[in-house]
Amino acid sequence: DVKVTQSSRYLVKRTGEKVFLECVQDMDHENMFWYRQDPGLGLRLIYFSYDVKMKEKGDIPEGYSVSREKKERFSLILESASTNQTSMYLCASTDGTVILYGYTFGSGTRLTVV
Amino acid sequence: ELKVEQNPLFLSMQEGKNYTIYCNYSTTSDRLYWYRQDPGKSLESLFVLLSNGAVKQEGRLMASLDTKARLSTLHITAAVHDLSATYFCAVSNTGNQFYFGTGTSLTVIP
């Protein structure tokens, strides 16, 4: 089975801190995605990547950046954390079989900014 | 931007009853996915619907897709407590990007 691993389940950070959320997948998937999940808003796409060193903005990229130096790792960076970035963050990956199988999600990181 | 609407947002139903969750989307697509999320957990794939008229069933859940109406339904038959979760639909465009609905939080009451 494909595994998508997010390094932290829960994080508490202070306003203004630089925050790194890490996601690693073990099945050589080309495509990786970062979503945030908020009640009543569903999942919203922050950034995605179709290849190493490649990144594309999603629907809500403001306040975030990403890094993909290796194929298996896709990092989400909050340059200066703010309280409105308190949320559940979900990483997902897929490859050319996306049509048949959809995305595989990580277990999520619940971030609280105080 | 492709928009996906689910209703209801919250659903409380008694065990043994039937109900349907609706997923409408705004532009043409013939790929629709249903996911389940348990509290505090990630999303797990339930169904993949890839053509007009597609119907998939597993246990007490049945999903269908009408691409002409831009509508998918998730029907629950004789609900049991184990089905309590949040259900998301997602629509894919010509690329690999998915657009998710707001989710339906289902609570099955004994």
Q: What is the pLDDT of residues A71-99, one digit of tens each?
A: 999 999 999 999 999 999 999 998 877 77
Nearest to B64 by CA among B26, B25, B23, B3: B23
Report the 10 Å Cβ neighbour count for B51: 10
**Does residue B87 sit at the A interface (CB-CB below 8 Å)?**
no
Residue A27 in this model has a pLDDT that exceeds 90: no
A108: closest CA of chain B, how far (Å): 6
B43: closest CA of chain A, how far (Å): 6
Give the confidence band of A2 by pLDDT, cuts at 50, 70, 90: low
The pLDDT of residue A98 is 76
Dihedral-angle region of residue B53 (phi above 0 means left; psi in -120 to 50 means alpha; beta otherwise): left
Residue B95 in this model has a pLDDT that exceeds 70: no
Give the chain B residue whose CA is nearest to the CA of A57.
Answer: B97
The pLDDT of residue A68 is 97
Chain A residues with CB-CB distance to B90 below 8 A: 43, 102-103
Residue A32 near residue A68, CB atoms below 8 Å: yes
Residue B49 in this model has a pLDDT that exceeds 90: yes
User: Radius of gyration of chain A from Cα atoms?
Assistant: 13
Averaged pLDDT, B12-19: 95
